[in-house]
Amino acid sequence: MQFEQDVLARSQEIPVVVDFWAPWCGPCRILGPVIEQLAAAQQGKWELVKVNTEEHPELGERYDVFSIPNVKMFYKGQVTGEFVGAIPKTAIERWLEEHLPNSHKDDLAQILAALENGEDPAALAQLEAFVLQNPGIAEAGMALASRVVVHHPAQAKELVASIQLGHLLYDQAEDIRTLAEWFELPADNGSPAAHLLHDAATAYAQGQSDAAVERVIEAVATDKTYHSDLPRRIAIALFRLWGPQHPLTTNYRWRFDMALY
């Protein structure tokens, strides 16, 4: 095995998946046959190279292999994805689907770029059509779910239904399910927390995000355990959706933490 030629040079033409393993590693012996079977079945899409870290410790050090089995995808000479451990075959297939370069991903990137600065109706229609044509691309379903969850929570849940524990997008899918649960909450069930969450959902649907998160935090302070910790879960989902640097996150996260503890 010549790493420079078999991996770095070859990855200029086709993705190369490198399985870092060792003979003494039990999980490696479980993963090895599975990934070898996938490589044979998907021949032409990517190639597999096995690196014994006992024989090539310098490669493990060079590519930050701290635990094995460690699988990395190389494309155009760069690591474009990785996972650690003997994960199930279905999870490996999803990982490959998400990281193998293809024109579909390029099309999706262009659509999402058009949506980045606002809800462009034409771009949203393109995204809906893309999801229909490519139901196996989880990122597309997630992107659409995040945009329809307010007014169509049932559709949003359906879009992320296949994303379960072990998937790279699992946390984001759980956030979508939490937001859908919020928007499906009955208007009046006698609970003060429910009233606050209903008011928050109405404000959020009207684009009043500040008022919405304020009501959610008030619901946390009132009864954070309501409906299986729904107020707490909503707040966390919103902060993750906005991202750590978003003004709403920086303005309200500390208030949420105070209400929680």
Judge whether 102 counts as a catalytic residue: no
The verdict on whether 56 is a catalytic residue reads no
Report how far residue 69's alpha carbon sits from residue 87's, in angstroms, rounded to the nearest whole number: 10
Catalytically annotated residue among 7, 25, 127, 131: 25
Q: In angstroms, rounded to a whole number, what is the distance separating the alpha carbons of residues 158 and 37?
A: 31
Question: DSSP label at 4?
Answer: I
Residue (of 47, 76, 50, 78) closest to 63 by Cα position = 78
Rounded to 5°, the CA angle 39-45-46 comes to 55
CA distances, 257 to each of 47, 174, 220, 221, 234 (Å): 47, 21, 10, 10, 13
Catalytic residue among 7, 16, 17, 28: 28
Catalytic sites, residue numbers: 25, 28
